Every structure is written in C-alpha cells, then in structure tokens.
C-alpha cells in the first residue's frame, strides 16, 4: 500500500487550501458536501488525522468518524425526509477509492430512485450550499 500523500485533495481541504461546503466539524472529524453527488444531499465524513483508508486509520479516528457519520446520517434523513441511506467507503484503487484520505459517504435514498453514477457531474456550488443548509438545519 502506498503511504499517505499530504497533498491529496481532502488534506488540502483540511488545511483550508481549497474550498469545501462544510457541514460540521469537531476536534477529530470534518463533514462536507461531495462535489460530484450521487444524489442531492450526498456528503462525506473524514478524520482530521492523516489516514489513507480503513487499512491504516487509527481505531480512535475511525470511531470518531463513525460517530460523526451517525450524526450526519440522522440529519440527512430528517432534512431530506429520506426513505433510507446508503453509506459507502472505498479502499485502494481496486476497491473503488479515488481520493486517498479516508472518507465515508452518506447518501440519502428514496423508494424507487436509483443511485447516480459514482463519478458524475460536478454540482453547482449554489445547489451544494442549499443542500448543506438543509442538513445543517437538521443537525
């Protein structure tokens, strides 16, 4: 497995070098909107500690991530009045991972609505902010 790359895109978001539509943050985690959402309200939770994926993350960091995932999941369900949620997490290229800083996807789901493609179209910033506001209000 390659070592952690400090210049990966989520590391740069954590350093404030590139913008993100932030939902919430605590000492150990950050939650923000996925820029190419598979559904309206698709968001990501990451640890602040440098972790490539599930294989190298420290137990306390993955535990903190999952606590934030649960908090965000409840807000997404409530805010979007969703019927369900899909939680995804990919590891290494063969596992579908494209950004090599551990992240967990939270995607609202609706009965009869199929999931969009994994790498789809870049969302409009205003739409991301509108959807973020729905989630923030439900937190």
139, two tokens: 């937190």
- For residue 130, the SS3 value is helix
In the complex, residue closest to ligand AMP by CB: 36
Looking at 42, 103, 105, 118, which residue is catalytic?
A: 103
CA atoms of 47 and 64, how far apart (whole Å): 7
Selection from 79, 1, 80, 76 nearest residue 45 by Cα: 76
Angular region, 92: left φ>0, alpha ψ -120 to 50, beta rest: left
Q: Which is nearer to ligand AMP, 81 or 129 (CB)?
A: 129
Rounded distance between C-alpha atoms, residue 47 and residue 14, angstroms: 9
127 binds ligand AMP (CB under 6 A): no
99 near ligand AMP, judged by CB under 6 A: yes
> In the annotation, is 42 catalytic?
no
Interface with ligand AMP, residue 54, by CB under 6 A? no
Residues in 20-39 that interact with ligand AMP by CB under 6 A: 20, 34-36
Are residues 13 and 43 in contact, defined by beta-carbon separation less than 8 angstroms? no
Q: Are 58 and 64 in contact (CB under 8 A)?
A: no
Instruction: Choose between 10 and 80: whose C-beta lies nearer to ligand AMP.
Output: 10
Binding mask 64-93 for ligand AMP (x = CB under 6 A): --------------------------x---
Q: Is 139 in the site for ligand AMP (CB under 6 A)?
A: no
- Which residues lie near ligand AMP (CB under 6 A)? 9, 20, 34-36, 44, 90, 96-99, 103
Q: Which residues are catalytic?
A: 103
């Amino acid at each position: 497995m390659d070592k952690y790359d400090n210049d990966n895109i989520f590391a740069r978001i954590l350093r404030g070098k590139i913008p993100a539509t932030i939902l919430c943050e605590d000492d150990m985690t950050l939650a923000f909107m996925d820029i190419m959402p598979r559904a309206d309200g698709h968001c990501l939770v990451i640890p602040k500690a440098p972790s490539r994926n599930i294989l190298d993350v420290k137990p306390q960091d993955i535990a903190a991530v999952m606590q934030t995932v649960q908090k965000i999941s409840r807000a997404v369900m409530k805010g979007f009045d969703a019927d369900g949620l899909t939680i995804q997490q990919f590891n290494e290229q063969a596992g579908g991972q494209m950004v090599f800083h551990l992240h967990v996807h939270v995607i609202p789901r609706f009965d009869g609505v199929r999931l969009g493609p994994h790498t789809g179209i870049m969302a409009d910033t205003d739409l991301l902010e509108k959807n973020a506001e729905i989630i923030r209000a439900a937190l």
